[in-house]
Structure formats: structure tokens, C-alpha cells
Structure 1
């Protein structure tokens, strides 16, 4: 054993006990590399979990990448942690772990807890720090006012590397600070409440969009340093914008320097390929039954909430975690102890993750991308639920897009696709997603999913957006959708921002801004967004005319609003029932000229004492074609 590595530990016996029981949720304070002083001497403490190793050493430029000169010491407590202090090193040192496994393999691994990694295709880690002088105290103190479930939640989903690029060099990725200069004023102008970053953890394969992660604790160095990312998040916070982050505890890639067979054994992944290999993504599934793996994953969630001030985590591919037979044929999976298809270890992990997050960070949100009818995803764990704050409403998304794809002449045959969501829509706290998954792989952009000529396509999409923003639940729109990007999303290039110089696209952009303003300004659209008390159908059966009408309700009756959709290209003179007498004023019309509509205006209309649609009063409306109008009693 080399004498240049000092026996020194950051761990207490209590730390080790927590780690081995799956209850240590701040492992990033102990494992990894930490610049520090020991006995007055500057150096770096290294610690890595590799229980099936014969030996572990640190290699780097400082020792000519010699695997024999700086060997770590294994702890006496059978925790499998190797650690030690190397004098003379400091921040910025590049390194890897050289692992000699019990089976004789020699492995070169990046640090699973590294805070910064080399830019791909290089794979080494840096001794780094997440220290930052934050200036978002006001936001952090009051963010529960923005993040609560009874507040407006309008999310702009984006991929950092393809949102915008350097116009002088379209191949160059903007860094975090450059993105901040462009993004912050844009989100403020468009009046979204939150942005959601697709995964920004280090990933070697850029076209994976960030979902094939090797460095779970490292912000991608493609865009700059940890502090650069913190500057971006801080800038958003200082302007009242929440930041959500895609988090991927469902699988990881098999890159040689990553987590796969980290110490020559199936350490992080499940050994049984029926549970540990993902056939869809050719990746590896975490062993949720292993205590140390649960500590790793929950620590990673805490890390982003703690060190980066993230306001919520959108958890990717939850369905793939919950079912043992997910994407598997008969014979390719093994039932659980009760003979079922549920992954009980994953269920327990997700419940524990949500309990831990909400107990330590009560003003954040966790959001599940869960595509099945698993019960209670957003219900409390004490009631048998998974404990998420919200769940993506994938059924609404599929049904709505399928309906709007139809030529209006055929929509009467698909009328129930627009109404079915309210049959199950209050079983969960749903978020309505029009995400990146809907505009790739030949699915076309949103605007080109719409039928008709150019004007009709834009009118249809505006109507869809109005329906989305005034329907139940919270909202998510993928970048480019706000100005009707015409091409599918391409991770290798910027959005087509030049389109906004043309009237149809500029009108769409104005309309999405108007929707965000409406959503944020009308309490009836968010105060009871997950409750049957906040929604009432007025007309849901007129399939012949493809007309829908509903009320949205808040805590105060005077704030109730009426939404009417005419999803055919025909102007209609139409009577709609209303709950109270008075003058009803249009507060938003998707057919407005400013939005590239036809400009058919509906004047303020007084109610008649005519019983209609089971309401004591009614109003006679002129409904614009392929449009929606929002009315409020004044």
C-alpha cells in the first residue's frame, strides 16, 4: 500500500449505518472527491464504493496515470468503501479510479460522485466544487407561493443544446450563462411560470437527449461549470421563474467508464437480466432492492434540490420501473413473491424517494411520467399511493392529439375523445403534457399534426392550446410549440426562430403568451385544478356540431369562467347555458386578428332568462370557426 495515501475518513459510524440501511440521503457530502485540509496540509479526500474490488487506486495527471502509486484503503467495517487522503492535490485535478476486481479484471472508472467531468468523448473526472454565492434568497423563501398545487403551473420544457445556438456558428452549443442571457427574458416575456430542463447530468452520447447518464452528480460540462448552471437557475429565480429538472432513476447506459459493472460485479444494476436489463433502451436497471443503491439514488435527488436549488423533479419512465414485464415477452420476466407483475422493490423505492424529498424539501414538487393506469401515483404514501405531487396525463395527450388530427368533417365520430378525460381526470393530480416525445421520430411537429390548409392548421393548434390551458390540471409545452415550429425537433440544431418573423408563427407566439397571462390571472383555472369542484361540463354531447362548453370554477363564484370551443370551420350562432344572469364578456378569443385568426369578434352579451343546457339562464353567441372563446361575467 502506497504511503502517499493517508488513512483518513469523512465517514462516521452513523454514516456507514445509514448508507448500509439505505437511509443516507446526502452521500455527496462523503463519497467522491473533496478538497480539504488534514493536519494543516492541503489535499483531496477520495472515497468510492467498490465492495467487490481487490484494490482501488486513484490515477491522474499528478501520477502519470500510474495505477500502483496511490492506492486507497478499504474500510474495516465491510461497507465496501475505499478511501484516503492524497496530499498536494487541489481543485481542478483530473482523475479516475483504477479498480482491480475480485475476478481479476482491471477497470478504469469515472467517479460516480464526481461534480464535474471531462467533455465527451473524454471520460475522466475533475476534483471540483459546487460552492456558489447564491442570490435567490427571496425566491427560496417564498417559492411555495409558486410551487403549490393550487397555483398556476405552466411549464416550458426545453433541451439546452437545441433551444438556441450561436448564430455565427450553428454547431457551437451556448454555455449556461449565454443561455441565461437569452432564456430568462424570453420566459418572462412569454409568462411561463416554470422551465423544465431535459436531463443536464453528464451523458457521453449527446443524441440520447441526456437520458443515458453516466455522471449523476455532474452538470454536463458541454455547457460550462456547475457555477455557470447555478447562475442560470439563479437568474430564473430572481425573475420569478421556477426550475424543474428531468431525473432518470430508471436506467443507465453500459459505457465502460460508467456505473455498469462498476467493480467487476453487478453493483448498481440488478444481476438478473430479467430485472436488470432494459430491452427498449439497451441499458441497465438499478437494483432498487439494494440499500446502498437506494441511498445513491435518493442522495442524487437531494443533491439537485440542495446544491442547485432545483424546484421540482420530473421523474422519467416511471412505468418502466413499476412493472416487471414492461416491454418483455412471456418468459422474459419473473413474477414477484405474490405472483404479480408489480416490481415491489421499485414501488418501495419510489414511495421512500417521495417521502424523503417532501420531508426535507416541502416546497418542491415531484412529477411522474407514468403512462399506465397505476392507481394512486399522486396520492400520499400513507394512503397506499406512490407519493408524487403530480402525474403526466398521457391519456389526455393521446386522445386530444388523435381528435385534432382528424378532419373536422369526421370529428363528430371521435367526440368522446375530448370528453373521456373527465371520467378519470380527478383520480390523480394531472399535468397535461405536449412534450418532446410528441414531435420526434416521424410524429411530425404539432402544427403539422393539424388538418387543413395553412390557416386551418394554425387555427386548430390555437384551439387545441386554448382547450389545454382552460382544461383541468397543470400545463407543459415543449419548446418550439409556442411559435408552431414546423419541423420535428432535432437535437443537433437550434429551433427555427426565424419563423417568428412570419405572421402565422408570430400570431401563435402572441397567443401562447396570452394564454399564459390568462392562466396566471384567472384563479378559477388553477385553484381547483385537480378537483371535480373546479370543472363542470355545460355542453359535452353536441357531436354533430363538434362544440364543447364547460365552466372552470375557483374559490369565489365571481371568478368562474366559461369556455366554448367550436372545432369545425363553420361560424355558428349558438346558445349556451350559464349559471347566473348578467353580462358575459369575451376575455380571450383564439380567432383574434392579433393571433392570425379571422377576426370574428363576439360582442359582450347579456344573458337571457331562457332555461338551456340545464342552466337557468343562457347567452346567444357567435362562435368563430376552429376556435375557442373564454368568457367571464362582469
Structure 2
């Protein structure tokens, strides 16, 4: 028996991060071996990571425009004046830790878990003391950057390392000599630009920069850190970006028309990249995506869109993960108002919109990135850690110092900005593994042992930030969905902050695509293990929800292959026409493409994700314009013409994708807590399970069709086909009868589950063709009542609520049942015989 609920404390050892530059990997070694921990860091008063704090280190905090305060953090001090009066309250608040009751494995690490929870409470209390509330703290964009105030525009920038500073731009001919800024004692520079003749002195959509002199006596120009828009001169090769003052008049501002759609219990997510969404070899726009692509997503019955590469990034080929300007939309695809149009259009279609947010690292660009503010100062005065600790060696990017007050303000405000200014409905946090550990997951082998998660290697500062972030997002938008991309399987990542968890709603089930890639690359079909597949799909932590996916953007980048390309390779160029017979490669490829995606959706989690184009088996890989390909956009687009062509077989995979989403829309099986796997037969290559009240039958055998295959189920009654991958409309052969009634037979002795068939009290028989998946739904009985009574009297059914099993003519009858000659319509009725005989319920046909 296999059941997800049978492994309540299973670890989640993911096989590796799918991004090519992430070297984390795992080797599962069973449930965690609980060992003593030495992960308690520092004293209970400590706010920063103890190994990075000296006795004289200070933390700056305060509300902009209010009295600024500093608070000394003494590593070994018994007192901390700013929190002393609230210390007892924090102790009381920190006492409950709900996650301890969920997993006995946490007990050995209780000190570490309580330490980080108390650190979270202390940081939150500090913010509330000096900023009013976490929500107020996260409105830094109302003070920093450019903001209209009475009779002028006020610009503020945090740059403690600067000795002098000026504001320059188109508005003053890039001459800052008359626009000197003033610095307060906490490193915040301020200038007010008075209005001219009642109009803002800085025109909308005009370029601006922050010019400052640092310790070497050198003046440098940087894009304001809180800039809302940044553009580049596309006529100049490798030109740096410029900050743009964005404040359009009311007549040019986009006004949202549609309310947010209700939060789905089970997100069916369509992951999309705006720039590469066009059929043409170009960068697509927000408005074209809204008008052309969103209707496709809606038509395929997704309920959520996840947008990549929205935050400005100067290098297009980074897929949006080397962010340069955190508050600015990517200008390649349009303006902030254009993005608002897209999100509002999605909401009008009933689609929720998530943003791929990157707070795990930042671009190391100096001229147009946040890194330009690092001029050799201490980490306390920088957004980033100093030295090697401040660089991600594999990603070639900068790493944030999450213990820094202004970093917290910057990142938390960034989340609130995207939620409130653009009406995003939540986030997918990228690179969470890198944030959680000092080693960033590089060259680590995560086995699932709890000592890998709760040690000195854990970056508690980053964990506290993530707890604050999730608390903030859900306070601002209770219906928000926040997803973590974590390859390590950090326990309690998906538990509420109030329970001592990190607070994410979902985690990505990152082991699943790796399993499929391994099988497709390294195993023959007959070598596929049903037990391995099943374990991979169901190995997730109890009470922590997962988003399952067979492939995402990671598998589509150059140097890798999508599932369709692994299955069909070069024959995708010549064998996809419906005007010719499908080759064995194409037959196999389309069949397995449907099965792999569907079993991943149906058994792998509480939500599902698909990357743009994979729903119809988009050929080839993604290769962004670069010097190595002659700056070509040819493989940085989506060929929608392939799925739109009625004579090509891509339409079959797309139709099945639409149908499996519609199945969840109708039956809500993804949100059902009932998930029971009754059979994973490696000899037959068949997996049978129930999700909700649906019965799923997956036959992965490359050749054998089973006629009269016996499947177990919980509920008695009549079943019919709800979805069939072998249907003609999905490119199949139409071998399964959709109008056939499958009546259940009772199994075993009532009250003795061990006597049941595959641990199920009822069963029925099906036709299961090779390489197909069929879903059965229970339907209302339509036999007349007097016919039911006659059947019960004649056949002497052991249960009054269960009809006899009805086997249609194409089924081979079970030898352990004696066939009753009483005819009911066109069906043959079987009675149960109370003698033990050989079970020949599987009758293979080739």
C-alpha cells in the first residue's frame, strides 16, 4: 500500500536544483537520523548572526522623517535597552511552537527552532518599536526614491559611504553643481526640487541619476536604488541603463477595472516569460502578451499565471534572475502602465497573477545595478555582505546582508510595492536554497538528515527575513499565494510563521522533473520502476503543500532538453504531420508526454505548474540572444503556429493539457486530502490510485494491453470514464469505451480490511491499453428500483448498498467469480463465490 498520509514525517530530499548553475544534489538515505544539535547561535538577545557581529557593532533603524535611533547589539550582553521592557512579552510569545507537535524529529533541534523564532519576534518587535508596524516599515518607497511632496519633488537615497552627493538628469543638463544633497547622521541623502510655475521640475519619463563621491575622491553616477523605471538606448551596443523618473499625469495612468479573482485552493500555474512569448523573433510586449497569450492560458483552464523576468535586468540572457533595479518593471516589454494593463486583463479573465521575485541575490553590475553603491565600505553600510561572503561564486552575483536594517526595509518594501502598485496576487521566491544556508547549497548533497538543516550553516538572518516577508505579504493580502523554490527540502518551510515555520504556502516539488529526465535519458521503458516513480511523486512533507511540475523553464534552456524533445528529438521536425502515419517514436513520445505530465499533476502535489509552450510539446530549447549565437532571437520565442495548425500533432498534447486542467476544475481532486495509492505493480507497469473520488489507472507498459484489469476503489457503485489519454481527440486510438458502465464488486470480509483487494473494499474491471492513462468517476445509479431488488434477490448480494459487478462483452471475466446467467440489459452479471481460487483478473493482450 502506498499513501501520502502514510509518511507523515517523511523528509523531502530533492535531487538537484534545475537551474544549470546550481550544484546542489541529494542522495536520499531514508528518514532523518536524529542527532544532537549545536545550532543554537549566540545569546537570546542576539539579532544578527553571532559569527558576524562584534561587541561594538551597531544597527541603525528609524522612520524616515522621524527621530532616528541607534541600538547597540552586544554579543555577550545580558541587556539590550531597546527591547528590555518587552523581553518578557517576547519570551511568552516565543513559547508556543506548533511545528514541534507535527514532527517528532524536531525535538532534537528544538533549541535551534526556538532560537530562530525568537529572533523573528525580536526583529519584528524592533521594527514595530521604531517604525510603527511591519506594514509601515514596508512602505519605504513613500519616503525613499522620488516622491511628490508639497510644492516639489523630494529625493532620498541611503548611501552611508558617500562623502558628497548630487542629483543629475535631463532636467538640469546633467550638471549637479546646483543640486547638492544633504546627508543626515545615518547616511540618508536628501534634496527637494521645487516646482517650476506649478509644474514638477523633473518631467515625467526623463532620465535621472544619483552622483556621489566616495572615499577615494572619485565621483560616480548610479541609478537611484528605488527607481521605478529604467531604460537603455537600444541604438548603442552594450549601453548602460538610465534611471527614469516615472510619474505620468492622471490621464495617462492605468486604472484597474477588475477585482482580484478568488484564491484557488489548488493553483494550476502557467509559467510565462513575456519577452519570449511572441511567435516572431523579437521581444514581446506586455500588451501583446495580454491580448494574445492570456486567452490561450485561460482556454487551457489554468487559474494562475506566473510571470518571470518582471524586475528590471540589464542582461536579457539572465532569464531575469540578475536583477539590477528592484522596483522597476522590465522596460524591454513596455512601461509600468502596460504591465498594469496585463495584470488587469488577467484578472478580468479570472486568472491570478504571481511574480517571480528575486531576493536571493542581485546583479553585480556597477553602472546600472544596486552593486554600484558598494564602494568598499563595511557591510553595515552596504546592501551586501563584504568579502567572499558577499558573492555567489556560481551565479556571479552579490548576496544581501539580511541582518541590515535598511536591507530589510528595501526588500520588504519591494514586496509591498509589487502587491499594491501592480495588483500582483503573490510571489514565487527564487533561489531560496541559496538564502537558507551559508554555503548556499553549492556542492552540497542533501540527504534529508535534519542535521543538514538546523546547524551553524543555516543563515538565520535570511530565515528571519523570509519569515518577516511571508508575514507581511499575508497581512497585506490574506489571499496571497507565496511559493518557495528550495532544492534542499528544508523542513517547516511551508508551515505558518505563527507555528514556527518559515511561512510559505507552497514549495516547488523539484525532485520530480529530475526523475523524469533521468528516466528518459538513462532507462529503457521496460526498466522504469513504478515504485520509484510513485515514491518520487508522493515523497513530500505532511501538512506542507507542494506545486508539482514535470518541467519548467529550467529544463528548456540551451544545453538541456524538454520532455517532448527528449522523447521525439529530430522526428519532431518531420513526423508531426497528421497527413502521414505516426512513427513508433512519435506514437511513444505523444503518449508518454501526456502520461508524464498528468501523473505528475494528479499525484505529485497540491498544485501544478507548466512552462509556456510545454503544454503542446514545444520543440527545441531556449537560447537567448548572445554573442555565441549571433544575437539571434530565433530560439527565444514560442511557435504558437505549431499548435494552431490543425494538421500537426501538437494539437493533441495541447488538447489533453486543456482536458486534465478541466478535470481538476470539475472535480477539484488536487485540493482533496484523500490520496490513496492501491497498486504500483512493477511487473504490469501499472499504477492505480484514488484522488478525491476519482480512480486513476496509468499503464506505462510499452506493449501490453490489459483487458479486464481489476482495480480497487473505496466507494461502491457505477463508474464511467472521466478522462482518457487514448481518446481520438488526444491523438490516441480510441480503444476505451466511454459509454461503458463499470459496476463495483465488494471485496473481502466486512470489517477486515486486510482481506480486501489491494486494501480497497471494492473493485471493478477496466480495459487498460499500453501507454495510456484513464480516469474513472463515480456516477449515479440509473437502474430502476425494482430491477435492483430483483438483482439482490437473485444474486444474494452480501451488501445491500452494492450492486453486482457488470462486465461488458469486451472484458475477460474473472475466474474467481462464477458467472450468473441472468441478463440485465446487454450486460452480464457476476456473483461472488465464497471459495478461494486463483486470481486471473489480469488478461494481457498484445
Confirm whether residue 509 of structure 1 aligns to residue 641 of structure 2.
Answer: no
Equivalence for 1:325: 439
1:252-293 CA-to-partner distances (Å, cap 9, x unmatched) read 111122111405235544333332100111100011110110
Deviates more, 1:572-581 or 1:124-133: 124-133
Is this contact kept in 1: 2:495–2:504, CA < 8 A? yes
1:105-155 CA-to-partner distances (Å, cap 9, x unmatched) read 321100111111113634211111387453345x23xx3x334xxx23110
CA gap 1:504/1:456 in 2 versus in 1, 3 angstroms = same
Q: C-alpha separation between the residues in 2 aligned to 1:114 and 1:61?
A: 15
Find 2:678's aligned residue among 490, 515, 538: 538
Alpha-carbon shift at residue 294 of structure 1 (Å): 0.8
Equivalence for 2:504: 388
Q: C-alpha separation between the residues in 2 aligned to 1:417 and 1:468?
A: 10
Equivalence for 1:629: 774
Alpha-carbon shift at residue 158 of structure 1 (Å): 0.8
Q: C-alpha separation between the residues in 1 aligned to 2:440 and 2:182?
A: 41
Alpha-carbon shift at residue 160 of structure 1 (Å): 0.7
- Structure 1 spans left out of the alignment, 5+ residues: 1-9, 554-559
Is this contact kept in 1: 2:171–2:203, CA < 8 A? no
CA gap 1:424/1:185 in 2 versus in 1, 3 angstroms = closer
Find 1:362's aligned residue among 478, 482, 489: 478
Is this contact kept in 2: 1:56–1:82, CA < 8 A? no
Confirm whether residue 372 of structure 1 aligns to residue 372 of structure 2.
Answer: no
Equivalence for 1:260: 371
Is this contact kept in 2: 1:276–1:285, CA < 8 A? yes
Is this contact kept in 2: 1:608–1:618, CA < 8 A? yes
Equivalence for 2:593: 461
Q: C-alpha separation between the residues in 2 aligned to 1:578 and 1:245?
A: 40
Confirm whether residue 497 of structure 1 aligns to residue 640 of structure 2.
Answer: yes
Is this contact kept in 2: 1:34–1:128, CA < 8 A? no
Highest relative contact order (Cα 8 Å, sep 6+), 1 or 2?
2
CA gap 1:293/1:197 in 2 versus in 1, 3 angstroms = same
Equivalence for 1:190: 300
CA gap 1:420/1:465 in 2 versus in 1, 3 angstroms = closer
CA gap 1:113/1:344 in 2 versus in 1, 3 angstroms = same
Alpha-carbon shift at residue 326 of structure 1 (Å): 2.4
SS class of match (1:163) = coil
Alpha-carbon shift at residue 587 of structure 1 (Å): 0.5
Confirm whether residue 135 of structure 1 aligns to residue 267 of structure 2.
Answer: no
Q: C-alpha separation between the residues in 1 aligned to 2:219 and 2:286?
A: 37
Alpha-carbon shift at residue 617 of structure 1 (Å): 2.0
CA gap 1:536/1:69 in 2 versus in 1, 3 angstroms = same
SS class of match (1:476) = strand
Q: C-alpha separation between the residues in 1 aligned to 2:777 and 2:462?
A: 46
Is this contact kept in 2: 1:20–1:292, CA < 8 A? no
Equivalence for 1:7: none
TM-score, normalising length from structure 1?
A: 0.88
CA gap 1:407/1:205 in 2 versus in 1, 3 angstroms = same
TM-score, normalising length from structure 2?
A: 0.67
Confirm whether residue 81 of structure 1 aligns to residue 189 of structure 2.
Answer: yes
Find 2:697's aligned residue among 550, 564, 586: 564
Q: C-alpha separation between the residues in 2 aligned to 1:627 and 1:588?
A: 11
Confirm whether residue 447 of structure 1 aligns to residue 567 of structure 2.
Answer: no
Equivalence for 1:577: 712
- Structure 2 spans left out of the alignment, 5+ residues: 1-62, 71-126, 196-200, 234-238, 445-450, 569-583, 625-632, 749-756, 780-846
CA gap 1:521/1:119 in 2 versus in 1, 3 angstroms = farther
Equivalence for 1:477: 610
Find 2:65's aligned residue among 4, 12, 18: 12
Pairs aligned (count): 591
Is this contact kept in 2: 1:35–1:127, CA < 8 A? no
Deviates more, 1:101-110 or 1:124-133: 124-133
Higher radius of gyration, 1 or 2: 2
Equivalence for 2:744: 607
State the superposition RMSD in angstroms.
Answer: 2.5
1:67-98 CA-to-partner distances (Å, cap 9, x unmatched) read 323111223x5253333324432322211010
Q: C-alpha separation between the residues in 2 aligned to 1:195 and 1:520?
A: 16
Is this contact kept in 2: 1:503–1:596, CA < 8 A? no
SS class of match (2:745) = coil
Equivalence for 1:65: 174
